[in-house]
Structure 1
Amino acid sequence: MNHSMINSLVTMKGLQQKLDVIANNMANINTTGFKRAEVTFHDVLTTTMQQPAEFQQSGRMSPMGLTQGWGAKISSIQTQMSQGSLKETNLPTDIAIEGNALFEIAIQGVDENGLSVATPAWTRDGTFSLNARPEDPDNVYLMTKQGFAVLDVNDQPIRIPNYHKLKVTENGTVLATSEQDPSEPALEVGQLKLVQIVRPQVLQQLGDNLYTMPADIDPALGEIVRVVAADPNNPKAEQLAVRQGFVEQSNVTLADEMTELMLTQRAFQLNAKALASADNLMGLTNQLRS
């Protein structure tokens, strides 16, 4: 196949993937806690073709050799964990994080032996609710809208006694205040487990703004998740604040995504024209040979 056609085809495939990523970002502009994805490209292969020595004529300014590329492909699609704006809802079960951290939750599943297992996952979507469990009629549990339990620093579900209100302090301490006797001292029922993702590119997306760790993670990567909540010796913990009655909006900016969309479409059209031109030249060459 013609070298120009290979170059254009490879690049168009990568650009089509980038268009899909941009479309997903724009579709989730109003999704609570959504984090936009960003695409990075790199050259597939670049070679230099040697030119005859007689090409080196007096007065030539360009270097010898003809640089030949083979298109560009996507090297990575990374999730940008930058802060989104906070929206006040005044709902006590809506909780937002101000700073670089995520809530840890437990996803219930079944292993190969049919036993119930809990897999840790993380999210920035703090639209929680208090739900009852049949096995524990005396308490309600803080859960995500998908029904997953929100964990505390001891990896236990956060539960609130019946007839108590939920209160969350700025440092993530969870309190339960009595609805029947407001003068009763508040009960400390847990501490939200907030974690910082050291290597966001390693995370695997589950959908619904949930992230988890791949099963085949390479131990050589080192630390990937770091607990930052309620640690006075950790400077990262001082940069965090938990806001009750708020939710975090998507960090997608429509103007930026529209700009990326137009640039990517222009690049796709340019490569499509190059592909068509190469096809026309090959057709003309075949006609000359006949």
Structure 2
Amino acid sequence: MNNSMINSSVSMHALQQKLDILANNMANSNTNGFKKKEASFEDVLTNIKNQPQGFRQQGRLSPLGFNQGWGSRLVQTQINMSQGPIQSTGNITDLAIQGDGLFELAIPTTDANGNQAFQTAWTRNGALHLSPDNQGSMTLNTEDGHYLVNTNGAPVRIPKNYRPEIDQNGNIFAYSEINHSAPPINVGQIKLVRVVRPQLLQELGNNLYTLPADIGDIQNVLQNVNGNPMDGADRVEVMQGYLEQSNVNMADEMTDLVMVQRAFQLSSRAVTSSDTMMNLANNLRG
């Protein structure tokens, strides 16, 4: 197998991974709070091909030898945490985040002994619903039944017949729907985290993120926002009655898609040409 075929086949594998990333971004262009993925590539290997000394001519400024590449590979996919468009819904259970923040969720699971346990996950999707629980109150849940968590690590609970009002810091006040003159009840604060290193987040599916088991100090990836005043670009705010849309720009994704398809087509033709030349060489008669 010659260098052209190796270079092209390796690059085609990387381009296919890039196509998969673009397809996933485009498929989630209408997903609330979705953050697009971006791919980084690097050369697999580059060496210098020596040239005969006869190429050394008087007046030649460039040294002998030329770089010979062996294709490229995907290094990593990183989450782009840029802000998506904010859309007003008027629904009191719809929440949007401004800034590089995430909502913390508790996913109900079972442990090895069959007892109920909770797995921690994070999301930007603030499309929530009020659902009754077994304690006579209402909880803020996602469409999949995951609990929104407060600063104490417990699910956010709203008393029945009360309407939640949430300020920009995530503080929740419950107003009575029966006695409108009754003072509001402070039922806690939504737990928010700011993403410090988005490249270390792992996708759990359904627009959820988690952390690797060997991450060590979680503060190196997710910084607790509650109780830590932040200003400027580090500030994270909650907007009630709004939803954040996907930050995928379809024009950019289509442009990248055309470029990757053309590069993939060029590499596939290089493989075909290399195969044709090898076939001709094998059929030569002395």
**Normalized against structure 2, the TM-score is what?**
0.95
For 1:122, the equivalent position in structure 2 comes to 122
Match of residue 193 from structure 1: 191
Give the alignment partner of residue 223 of structure 2, picking from 206, 221, 226. Answer: 226
> In the alignment, what sits opposite 1:136?
135
The Cα of 1:241 is off from its aligned counterpart by: 2.0
Determine if contact 2:99/2:234 at 8 Å carries over to the other structure. Answer: no
Report whether the alignment pairs 1:202 with 2:200: yes
Report the equivalent of 1:31.
Answer: 31
Match of residue 153 from structure 1: 151
Q: 1:214 and 1:170, CA in 2 relative to 1: closer, same or farther beyond 3 A?
A: same
Contact 2:141/2:147 (<8 A) preserved: yes
Helix, strand or coil at the partner of 2:104:
strand
State how far apart, in whole Å, the 1-side matches of 2:274 and 2:46 are: 20
| Letter of the 2:24 counterpart | N
CA distance in 2, matches of 1:121, 1:276: 47
Gap change, CA 1:262 and 1:246, over 3 Å in 2: same
Between 238-247 and 193-202, report the one with greater CA deviation.
Answer: 238-247
Q: Are residues 148 and 218 of structure 1, via their aligned partners in 2, closer, same or farther at CA, if it must alter by over 3 Å?
A: closer
Distance 1:238 1:187 in 2: 30
Quick one: distance in 1 between partners of 2:285 and 2:114? 69
User: Residue 60 in 1 paired to residue 63 in 2?
Assistant: no
Cα offset for 1:218?
A: 4.1
**Which of 220, 238, 244 pairs up with 1:242?**
238
The answer to whether the 8 Å contact 1:228/1:237 transfers is no
CA–CA distance in structure 1, aligned partners of residues 246 and 172 of structure 2: 25
Determine the C-alpha separation between the residues in 1 that align with 2:94 and 2:249. Answer: 23
Q: Please, which runs of 5 or more residues in structure 2 have no aligned partner? A: none
Deviates more, 1:275-284 or 1:1-10: 275-284
Change (3 A) 1:285 1:62: farther
Q: Which residue matches 1:5?
A: 5
Over residues 233-258 of structure 1, what are the superposed CA-to-partner deviations in whole Å (9 max), with x where a residue is unaligned?
A: x4479722211110000000010000
Q: Which residue of 1 aligns with 2:161?
A: 163
Cα distance, 1:7 vs. partner?
A: 0.5
1:22-66 Cα deviation digits (max 9, x unpaired): 011111111111111111110001111222333211122332112
TM-fit CA distance, 1:114 = 2.6
Contact preservation (8 Å) 1:95, 1:245? yes
RMSD: 1.7
Q: Flag the 1:7–1:222 CA change in 2: closer, same or farther, 3 A.
A: farther
Q: 1:218 to 1:172 in 2, by over 3 A?
A: closer
Report % sequence identity: 48
Match of residue 264 from structure 2: 268
1:195-241 per-position Cα deviation (integer Å, ceiling 9, x unaligned): 012121111111111001122x2438971111113423x44797222
Contact 1:172 1:230 in 2 (8 A): no
Which runs of 5 or more residues in structure 1 are unaligned?
A: none
Cα shift readout 1:157-181 (whole Å, capped 9, x = no counterpart):
1100011001111211111000111
What is the aligned length? 286
Cα distance in 2 for partners of 1:118, 1:186 equals 30
The CA deviation string for residues 61-82 of structure 1, in whole angstroms up to 9 with x for no partner, is 3321121111001001111111
| TM-score, normalised with respect to structure 1 | 0.94
Q: 1:185 to 1:222 in 2, by over 3 A?
A: closer
